[in-house]
Amino acid sequence: MVEIEIPGKMQSKTPQFDAVLDEILKDLVPHTRTCIWKGKNPHCEGDFDIVAEDIEFLKMLRVPAPNYCPTCRRIRRLPHMGMLQLFKRPCNTPGHNEMMISIFAENCPFPVYDYKYFISDEFDPFAFGVDYNPNDDHLNILWELRKRFPMPSFLNRDPASVNSDYSNGGRNTKNAYYTGGCFESEDMWYTNFANKSKMVMDSRTIRGSDHVYSSVYGGHLYKCAFTYFTSNSTDSMFLFDCRNCQDCFGCVNLRNKRYCVWNEQYTKEEYEAFMQSIRPLSRTKIREYEEKFWKMVKELPMNASHNLASENVSGVNIVNSHNLYDVIDAQKAENVRHADSPLGHHDSMDLTFSGGSDHLYGTVNIGSSSSWVKFSVSSKYCTDSEFIFNSKNLSNCFMCFGLQNKSYCILNKQYEEDEYFKIVDAIKTKLLQRGEYGDGFGFEYSAQAYNISLAQIAYSLTEEQIKMFGGYVASEPETNVGTIPVIEAIDVPQTIEETTDDILEKAIRCEKTGKPFRVIPSELAFYRKMQLPVPVVHPQVRMGKYLLVAPTGKMFKAMCAKCSKDIFSIFDPKEGWNLYCGSCYQQEVA
């Protein structure tokens, strides 16, 4: 068992709550519980165990045992994270009637304000404040405030970013078009989760890279396309789980190689002749190579978990971390349980997306040096706060929305420190005694439609199920093509050499959905630089495809094909992958 530091018996600022919680936690022992959604949610685990390690975290974080299984807890968090659809919709700011671009559909159940207005001094979040009344049902009051309080059109966007009006989240970006969660990066298109990179198109989770196309989970790549779980590689295409490769094409599991084609060693002259023979690259050729490539990936050993340089971890895609359990997509994390995407994070449980923070519980998109935050969404630089939404730089705030640089606030009302803790103590104690403290919020609190959220990719639900759990369904956003001519996919030139600037004056009808889309000038320049053909599939479909590669919040139970050990896998074993445990993979490949 990992030793967890539990706060000492300092003088409590919420003595009633702590006394009741101490009685609950005192008698808490490992046991089996039944999830509230058993028999309702098709993905529910049903009965689930609270083990000794869970109890240590619950005691440290000062919360009772959860009433939902780990999977359902994930499903309740994930709807707050969208797939980056953009909608043209009216601004709901009073006195405004302009149309704006937002990540929230027009049928979002909450008002949506323009982001610049939302973060400006003109907007007063205290105008929505609710006075404390000890006789109130405060979860109901929180919900009523949730329904009235506006959402910003985008979440956590950095106002200092340049020419990035079509980006969501992230920080310090330049020329970011249709991106989400990109940091210190420039010249990005249709990309999610890039860090310190530039010239990246149609990709996901890329770091320290330059000139990258159609790649997933890559680091330190240069002039690469169609790569997956590959790092420190240059001038290569169609690579899967390769390291330190240069001038390679169609290769899997290679280390420190150059001039390889379909895992066969070529001479420099042979490789150059091969590359000359396949150019100019056409869409038809690329599809043929993709089919051959993925067939090869399935046949060769695969590191099922993709856990690297980590110790005492359970989960998938964990890098440079230790003491993690039931964790997906982690880097430099320590002492974390039941979480997705903790980056540089420690001592937390039940979170989705957090960077550089600690002691979080039941949170989504809380990060940037936040600490001791519970049941909260899309806030940063926050400490000692609970039930906060779309806020920044808070300390000791409770049930608040849209605040910045504040302390001792409850339901968007300002209090003195002593009064603040008395009220919080009373509210939390009542919630705990009624069994309503500890599970956070449900679908109904999400401004993001479930069907266009990360939840739907990992845990698909029908429209009826989504509405039953309190969520909503958004319709497809309108296209941006206007009245320009629309051409069929078959009429788009097969190669970039054949493509003229006229393509910028036309819309392409997606060959998969029939939905037209446009190519913008900077995008066309990128295709020319990379010598790649213009795609004929809508960007939203392309982005969805890469989110399906290792969906956030999803992993599969599998068996090592070599030693028969039970393992966790990024990929579904039903799809025929040749899955190996980490040890067997290292023996086979390293």
The yes-or-no verdict on residue 549 having pLDDT over 70 is yes
Per-residue pLDDT reduced to its tens digit, 356-396: 999 999 999 998 899 999 999 999 999 999 999 999 999 99
* Dist. CA 12–CA 5, nearest whole Å: 17
Q: What pLDDT score was predicted for residue 82? A: 87
pLDDT tens readout for residues 161-185: 899 888 888 889 999 999 998 999 9
The tens digit of pLDDT for each residue in 191-219 reads 999 999 999 999 999 999 999 999 999 99
pTM across the whole model: 0.93
Q: For the chain, give the percent of residues with pLDDT over 90.
A: 89
Confidence bin at 1 (pLDDT 50/70/90): very low
**For 434-496, where are the alpha helices, taking DSSP H only?**
454-458, 463-468
pLDDT higher than 80, residue 7: no
What type of residue sits at position 408?
Y
Local confidence band at 6 (pLDDT 50, 70, 90 cut-offs): very low
> What percent of the chain clears pLDDT 70, i.e. is strictly above it?
98
Rounded mean pLDDT, 494-505: 97
pLDDT digits (tens, 9 = 90+) for 295-348: 999 999 999 999 999 999 999 999 999 999 999 999 999 999 999 999 999 999
Torsion, Cα of 430, 436, 442, 447 (10° steps): 0
Q: pLDDT for 516-529, tens place per residue?
A: 999 999 999 999 99
* pLDDT on residue 3: 47
Answer whether residue 10 shows pLDDT above 80: no
- Share the mean pLDDT of the chain: 94
Q: Give 41-77 pLDDT, tens digit per residue.
A: 999 999 999 999 999 999 999 999 999 999 999 999 9
Gap between the Cα atoms of 255 and 251, Å rounded? 10
Extract long-range pairs of 202-206: CB within 8 Å, 24+ residues apart.
202/535, 202/539, 202/542, 202/543, 202/546, 203/546, 204/543, 204/546, 204/547, 204/549, 205/329
State the Cα torsion 512-514-520-521 to the nearest 10°: 80
Would you list the domain boundaries of the chain? 214-303, 486-533
User: Looking at residues 14-29, what average pLDDT do you find?
Assistant: 97
Average pLDDT over residues 130-140: 96
Q: Any idea what DSSP says for residue 20? A: H
Q: Give 241's pLDDT tier (boundaries 50, 70, 90).
A: very high
Pairing mode, strands 204-207 and 198-201: unpaired
5 has a pLDDT exceeding 70:
no
